[in-house]
Structure formats: C-alpha cells, structure tokens
Amino acid sequence: MAETPKRARAPRPARQDPAAAVLGVVDTAAVAARLRVSPQAVQQWVSGTTSGPKALREPAGVLNGGFVWPESALDAAKTERELGRAAPPSD
C-alpha cells in the first residue's frame, strides 16, 4: 500500500504575552519572530556572544522571567538589519 505524503505544518504564530501587549514591550520570542532569527540568536546578542542590532543589546527590563524591549527598539533593530543587508560592500 502506498504511503500518503505528510503535509507540512504551518508555522506557529508568534506568542503574544498579554502583559507585553499592554505595556508596549516585546519579549525575546517576539523579537526573534519579527526579525526572523532564533530566540537563541537574540539571547546571544544580549550576552555579547555575537554582534547584533545595537537597539537590542540592552534590554529595557525583565517581565515574567524574560528580557523585554520597547516596541521602538524592535523597529530600530529591524531598520538597522535591513540597512545592513542593503548597504553596498565597503572598500
């Protein structure tokens, strides 16, 4: 009997923390989802293990045991990453 092909799973939507939505901050998971990187990459930026967007190097605080940043920092980081990708190579 022929096997039926498995269907690919749809990506999970970013977790939305109700407290974060009220406070106007984003957590590590939301930053990772919006910048299309892993949560581990965001944690490495914070720890200084790897370089990342300047706007995300210093978290604004801790909420429910995780780092949070203001929405404006995420917007700045996204712009910084887009400009970095679009910048011509320097000689």
Residue 91 included in any domain: no
How many domains does the structure of the chain reveal? 1
The pLDDT of 75-89, averaged and rounded, is 74
Residue range(s) defining the domain that contains residue 67: 19-84
Provide the 10 A C-beta neighbour count for residue 53.
Answer: 19
CATH number of the domain where residue 37 is located = 1.10.1660.10
Provide the 10 A C-beta neighbour count for residue 77.
Answer: 22
Residue 1 included in any domain: no
Residue 3 included in any domain: no
Prediction pTM value: 0.65
Which residues, listed in sequence order, are joined to residue 68 by a DSSP beta bridge?
27, 61
Residue 66 included in any domain: yes
Residue 6 included in any domain: no
Q: What kind and span of H or E run contains 34?
A: helix 28-35
Residue 9 included in any domain: no
Please give the residue that has the higher pLDDT: either 52 or 40: 40
pLDDT digits (tens, 9 = 90+) for 17-49: 555 566 788 899 999 998 999 999 999 999 988
Determine the Cα–Cα distance for residues 55 and 69; give it in Å rounded to an integer: 9
